[in-house]
Amino acid sequence: MAAQSAADQFLDYAAGALPMFLVGAEYEWKTGPKPIEVGSSSLTGLVSEATRGIRHRKVLDQIDTQIVVSGTRGKSSTTQRLDDVFNRRGYDTLTKITGNHPLLIHNGEVHPIERRGPRTTLYENISLIAEFVPELDAYEPDDVAIFENQGITEYTTRLFNQRLTDPDIIVLTNVRQDHTDTLGKTRTDLARSFARSVPAGTHVVSGEQHPVLHEYMQKEIERRGGTIEQVDIPDEHEGLIGSETIHAVNAVLDIVGEPSLPAEEIESFLSAIQPTWIELEDGLIFNAAEVNDVESTEMVRRVLVDDECITPFVYLRRDRRGRTASFAQYIELLFERELIDEAHIGGANTRAFAENVDVPTKCHSQNADPEQVLTELFTDGRPVILMGNTVDEFMREMQASIEQRVKKKR
């Protein structure tokens, strides 16, 4: 019993100090936290980690305002946008961006983070916070720390918000159907995972516009002692890519007593990020695979063509089964609405995908030549939209082929 009690106390005081694994957008590691052996005869390690956890929370207490950016899409760009805005307004800023290209930004100075492997451990974050936060506290201006939450399981997302950081504000960019293998099978499941990660006393700025999802999260968050507001998007910005995130920045500024972004800055930002066709000699193409969830892909499609028929190329990955299932449903929906006549499928498990959708399909093997596949996509003369997954050598070669054809057209 004494050993169990010691372990329980350790978990309470040292949480946030153990090497819990978060993941970047490319990875879904199943490795969990190293288990604590109940009844261990050595308490030296327990005391050391408990002390480290206490020190970490004391360092966090030095920060005037902590902001965590969570959600499905647009976390990194929103984190960078917040950093830029607060830095330009004279705040002492510390920003951590996690993912494929992790960065630490301190007052506009960018520090790339080099890792020895794909896993992001909490030790990395604790060490960086311990090194830079005392510098923030030493300066006269108000300081703000902005952290991107890159957890893709309910556990790691909650751990980040409740133990690693102590957020005053959480910006929830949106709730899209991605990482369904780890965060939940439906958007309601995803919303539940995000809501359960909110600590008591934290205010959530939510860019998610679905009224049912917002109402669900509001009940769950308020039940846990938090508060939430839904980002207000002006009529003229409805349906524009990124509108919920740029107006979320305005909501954050209002909370801390700062003036809103100038209207011209918002217009310039939104105009710059709207998708536009790439013109090749073969026809029009757009790579929407980078957004890799069906809701974002559909937003891109509507901006580009609305009701015009397209040729979709869906690239599948073996380790993204939840995403594959989502795109199977999406392709069927497009076919039912007569927005596609057939679908081109590439990557892993193409035959299984084709057998489980009631849509004419053309499968391309994993060993197919990307250049040849690109040529085949234009056979019907329709605009082409790439979708599904982009992190793969095949898709990198496909993108290179597109760029070469752009140069040739010029």
pLDDT per residue rounded down to tens, the chain (410 residues): 444 454 444 334 433 333 333 333 333 323 333 322 223 334 344 344 444 555 545 556 667 899 999 988 888 889 999 999 999 999 989 898 875 567 888 898 888 877 665 455 544 555 555 555 555 555 556 889 999 987 767 777 887 777 778 899 999 999 876 544 444 457 888 899 899 999 999 999 999 999 999 999 999 999 999 999 999 999 999 989 899 999 999 999 999 999 999 999 999 999 999 999 999 999 999 999 888 788 889 989 999 997 899 999 999 988 778 788 889 999 999 999 999 999 999 999 999 999 999 999 999 998 999 999 999 999 999 999 999 988 789 999 999 999 999 998 77
Query: Alpha helices of 90-184 — where are they, by DSSP H?
Result: 122-138, 154-159, 180-183
CB-CB contact of 75 with 98 (8 Å): no
CA distance 334 to 341: 9
What are the start-end ranges of the E strands in 149-195?
169-172
What pLDDT, on the 0 to 100 scale, is given for residue 185? 59
Please state the φ and ψ torsions of residue 69, each to the nearest 5 degrees: -105, 120
What pLDDT, on the 0 to 100 scale, is given for residue 45? 40
What pLDDT, on the 0 to 100 scale, is given for residue 334? 96
Q: Which helix (H) or strand (E) holds 341?
A: none
Query: Bridge partners of 204?
Result: 170, 228
Q: Strand order in 278-279's β-sheet?
A: 278-279, 284-287, 384-388, 311-316, 343-347, 361-364
Residue corresponding to tokens 């089964």: 321
CA distance 46 to 3: 11
Tokens representing 131 are 């090194």
What pLDDT, on the 0 to 100 scale, is given for residue 37? 28
CA distance 410 to 406: 7
Domains 2-269 and 278-409 share a fold: no
**Would you give the DSSP letter of residue 395?**
H
CA distance 159 to 201: 16
What pLDDT, on the 0 to 100 scale, is given for residue 100? 57
Going from N- to C-terminal start, the domains of the chain cover 2-269, 278-409
**Would you give the DSSP letter of residue 163?**
I
Q: Among candidates 153, 161, 151, 167, which has minimal Cα distance to 197?
A: 161
- Burial, 39: exposed, middle or buried (Cβ in 10 Å; 0-12, 13-18, 19+)? exposed
Q: Among candidates 228, 273, 279, which has minimal Cα distance to 81?
A: 273
CATH assignment of 278-409? 3.90.190.20
What pLDDT, on the 0 to 100 scale, is given for residue 27? 31
Helices 263-273 and 243-255, packing angle to 10 deg: 150
Residue 355 CA, distance from chain mean position: 31
Domain 2-269 has CATH 3.40.1190.10: yes
What pLDDT, on the 0 to 100 scale, is given for residue 161? 78
Tokens representing 181 are 């293998």
Helices (H) and strands (E) in the chain, counts: 15, 16
What pLDDT, on the 0 to 100 scale, is given for residue 134? 56
CB-CB contact of 214 with 208 (8 Å): yes
At residue 92, the 3 state secondary structure works out as: strand
What pLDDT, on the 0 to 100 scale, is given for residue 115? 60
CB half-sphere exposure, 368, CA atoms < 13 A: 21
